[in-house]
Amino acid sequence: MSMAEHSTQKRHFFLTRQPVITKNNATWAQSVHFRDLDPWDPKLKVPMAKRPELQRKANEYAHLITGDNPNRRSFLKFSREAISAGLARDIPSQELIVEVPEVEHPDPVLLRTLDSLRADGYRIAITDFMGLAKAEALHERADIVKVRVKGRTPHQILTILGRTPEPDPVMVATGVDYPQLFNISLAMGFSLFQGGFFAKAERVESRDLSPSQAAKLELFHLLERGKPDFSALSKTISMDAAISFRLLNFLNSAAFSFPTKIKSIDHAVVILG
């Protein structure tokens, strides 16, 4: 089933997004979380075979709602099952930080998948890091760790920080809901911050993807393939009038000066190769 066909299925998701801020109050990324739906929740009455599809749809939407982030960088939490199914690769590595829970005795499949993601440029973040003694194999693969500072004393926070892996990962303080917590976190060496002191988490309800959004998602997947499928590319580009117009206008500009006018998307795709 194509990504465009996925978009015709009515699925609604409730998510929150909250900026992750630098010490200079600049947005470094968006942290996106599903609040009302976890496709891998055993209580959810969705057949196991359908859950990867549901998670993929949710990933796409989470990616879309971070569009106002100029860095196009998002923290997105994945379950062990979703990571093993390869669903993190739906989003380009430069735009995604794969957020995983800290678990003791992480299984070999999960670790191999994380290694593969890191080899391809994805960064791994451990959420709610505690420094569990039996999670060292997971710690070794962490590029970023998130530590919740709200509700903890400075001594408790320092104890957790003393368990961070080597080499030092990027440290994110979460639950930074008032100025004192920001000052404490900054003094303890955190470089990124998330919490109500900067911005409240914004609750967002998903909607069906527009034809334009569906076309862009499908086009991304087609272009990621090694061998171009000209028929599929043409069909996907034709779904979006704006993309079609820009492509034809671009190829018919003075920069190319083709002897005949390019009038069809099929012709345009073949020329572009």
Average pLDDT of the residues of the chain = 78
Mean pLDDT of 196-204: 84
- pLDDT confidence bin for 23, thresholds 50/70/90: very high
Mean pLDDT of 39-54: 59
| Cβ pair 90, 56 in contact under 8 A | yes
Residue 254 makes CB contacts below 8 A (sequence gap 6+) with: none
Mean pLDDT of 181-201: 93
Mean pLDDT of 186-210: 82
3-state DSSP assignment of residue 214: helix
Please write the tens of the pLDDT for every residue from 134-150: 999 999 999 999 999 99
pLDDT value of residue 152: 94
- pLDDT confidence bin for 170, thresholds 50/70/90: very high
Mean pLDDT of 30-55: 62
- pLDDT confidence bin for 102, thresholds 50/70/90: very high
CA angle 231, 56, 242 (to 5 degrees): 45
pLDDT value of residue 8: 38
Residue predicted with more confidence, 228 or 184: 184
Alpha-carbon distance values, 259 to 186, 205, 207, 266 (Å): 63, 49, 44, 17
- Is the pLDDT assigned to residue 207 strictly greater than 50? yes
What percentage of the chain exceeds 70 in pLDDT? 67
- Is the pLDDT assigned to residue 196 strictly greater than 60? yes
pLDDT value of residue 238: 78
- pLDDT confidence bin for 262, thresholds 50/70/90: confident
- The sign one gets for the Cα dihedral 49, 227, 122, 106 is positive
The residue written with tokens 């998948």 in the block is 113
Please write the tens of the pLDDT for every residue from 107-140: 888 898 899 999 999 999 999 999 998 999 999 9
Mean pLDDT of 69-83: 76
3-state DSSP assignment of residue 58: helix
pLDDT value of residue 253: 75
